[in-house]
Amino acid sequence: MTEPRPFLVGGERRTSEEILEVRFPYDHALVGTVCLAGQADLEDAVGAAELGFERTRRLPTHARTGVLTRLAALIEDWSDEIAETITLESGKTAVLARAEVARAVETLLLSAEEAGRIYGEVIPLDLTQATTGRTGYLRRVPLGIVLAVTPFNFPFNLACHKIGPAVAAGNAVVHRPSSKTPLSGLVLGDLLVEAGYPAEAVSVVPCTTDLAERMVRDDRIAFLSFTGSPAVGWHLRAIAGRTRVGLELGGNAAVVVDEDADLPYAAERIVQGGFSGAGQVCISVQRVFIHRSVFRTCLEMVLERTGALVSGDPRDGGVDVGPMISEEAAAAAEEKVGEAVEDGATVLAGGTRTGTLFAPTVLTDTLPEMRVNATEMFAPVITVTPFDDFDEVLARVNDSPFGLQAGIFTTRLDRAFHAFDECEVGGLIVNDVPTFRADAMPYGGVKASGVGREGPRYAIEEMTEPRLMVLHRRG
């Protein structure tokens, strides 16, 4: 057995006596072990970040761009190994793991480009006689220490979505990866130091939840960027004190298929959006509303494509749906589906579990208050419901505590814009599923789904603040 992997504090590798086992979700085989950071290590990490920030905030644009470009190149060099690590620790299929690494490279290159677009502003202040001769010069400056807390479902790209913009802006970074998937985060930290970012400004600290909360309470943390469950995210915001917070949380994403939609395409995208990653995606398709005039036809297409999916070992290139992250997560999904069936729902596909494998599941005859609709499933489960009136279905979309993204399939531009006006979501995806995300776009939710936006350009805005100089020209 290999030695436990050390963590990073100020760019230096450290070990500890407390060891975390990382296991393959498919069969629980041991993937590796990781040393956990203790309280003293976290104190040192934040202290190192304070020192590191004194260097990073002075880095010229070309230096920050160069670090991110080199980091992207290093990831490409190690892409096969990183993808394999993602599959083994998260259970993500090999195809999806390779796609995640490719997206991470894109995220970092976008961040590098945006580093050169952190613009300022010249503001005329001579608007009254009393302010004659004065001009304002506004520029954006980095906040300080960014605490990045990332989940298991996209352990590499979501880390890049936090670290890339933080580096682009000149901040120091302390990264706390998910305890389920710490290995890929540690690889990223090593590569960031190798790419030339000041070592003191780079820490990757797998640690217990209570120690992570202590960091959140630390006033030296300038910005908390958290992706994870709504319950945890809002709790962290409540205890964060003066620290600025960005939350990318969950949802129960809805998709509407109107009567004029391209049904084969809609069915294909619904199946992919609902079951990719075993449904463990914040914007996974969960609630599907189909116009009654095409309901039966579209539903049959969805069921046909669902039945063709192959579940199994995610290392197998022919597998479409891998395991859920843990048996507890799969059992929770099974319980919600069983509860819905007891209350009158009908299982049209799936509904069964073998260990961590949960069969892609299609339900109908559900009610809005059932947990399969009202809560985030985070599992390969979709509910399918007919609708008659377009305004009625938009109200159904909004009948949720969440508001991350929604999708609508229609050929009518007026309906697309009407939905854009009415849907209470961070993003409306027209003629695709809510699961669509381009890494450059502003991404985030409203209501219980979070606060703030990701996407390199928008995250940089969150991780910087305006600073004004007023120049008085005398004489």
Of 92, 135, 138, nearest in space to 278 by CA: 92
Residue 278 shares a structural domain with residue 166: no
Tokens of 226: 């958290």
The predicted structure's pLDDT at residue 425: 99
The answer to whether residues 158 and 272 belong to one domain is no
In this prediction, residue 160 carries a pLDDT of 99
Is the same domain home to 46 and 154?
A: yes
Are 242 and 287 part of one and the same domain? no
Same domain, 95 and 240: yes
248 is catalytic: yes
Asked if the structure places residue 26 within a domain, the reply is yes
326 in the same domain as 357: yes
Q: Using the structure block, give the residue that is written with the tokens 């395409």.
A: 265
1 is a domain residue: no
CATH classification at residue 12? 3.40.605.10
Read off the tokens for 11.
Answer: 């760019």
Dist CA 235 CA 221 (whole Å): 16
- Evaluate whether residue 2 is within a structural domain: no
- CA torsion sign for 351, 152, 233, 274 is negative
Kindly state whether residue 474 falls inside one of the protein's structural domains: no
Choice among 282, 376, 454, 461 that is catalytic: 282
Specify the amino acid at residue 68.
Answer: L
Does residue 444 fall inside a structural domain?
no
What would you report as the CA-atom Rg of the chain, rounded to the nearest whole angstrom? 24
Query: Is 281 a domain residue?
Result: yes
Alpha helices in 78-199 (DSSP H): 79-90, 94-115, 157-169, 182-194
CATH number, position 364? 3.40.309.10
pLDDT at 305: 99
310 lies in a domain?
yes
* Number of domains forming the structure of the chain: 2
Same domain for 32 and 170, yes or no, is: yes
Q: According to DSSP H, which parts of 281-406 are helical? A: 295-307, 327-342, 371-374, 390-398
- pLDDT at 1 (0 to 100): 54
Q: 371 and 237, same structural domain? A: no
| Candidates 114, 200, 248, 462; catalytic one | 248
- Tell whether 264 and 244 lie within a shared domain: no
Decide if 282 is catalytic: yes
One domain, residues 124 and 271 = no
Q: What is the pLDDT of residue 109?
A: 99
pLDDT value of position 273: 99
Residues 296 and 332 in one domain: yes
Q: The domain containing residue 179 runs over which residues?
A: 7-249+450-469
| pLDDT tens for the 475 residues of the chain, in order | 579 999 999 999 999 999 999 999 999 999 999 999 999 999 999 999 999 999 999 999 999 999 999 999 999 999 999 999 999 999 999 999 999 999 999 999 999 999 999 999 999 999 999 999 999 999 999 999 999 999 999 999 999 999 999 999 999 999 999 999 999 999 999 999 999 999 999 999 999 999 999 999 999 999 999 999 999 999 999 999 999 999 999 999 999 999 999 999 999 999 999 999 999 999 999 999 999 999 999 999 999 999 999 999 999 999 999 999 999 999 999 999 999 999 999 999 999 999 999 999 999 999 999 999 999 999 999 999 999 999 999 999 999 999 999 999 999 999 999 999 999 999 999 999 999 999 999 999 999 999 999 999 999 999 999 999 999 998 6
Q: Check whether residue 291 and residue 173 sit in a common domain.
A: no
CA end-to-end span of the chain: 76
Phi, psi of 317 (to 5 degrees): -60, -20
Q: Is the pTM of this model over 0.85?
A: yes
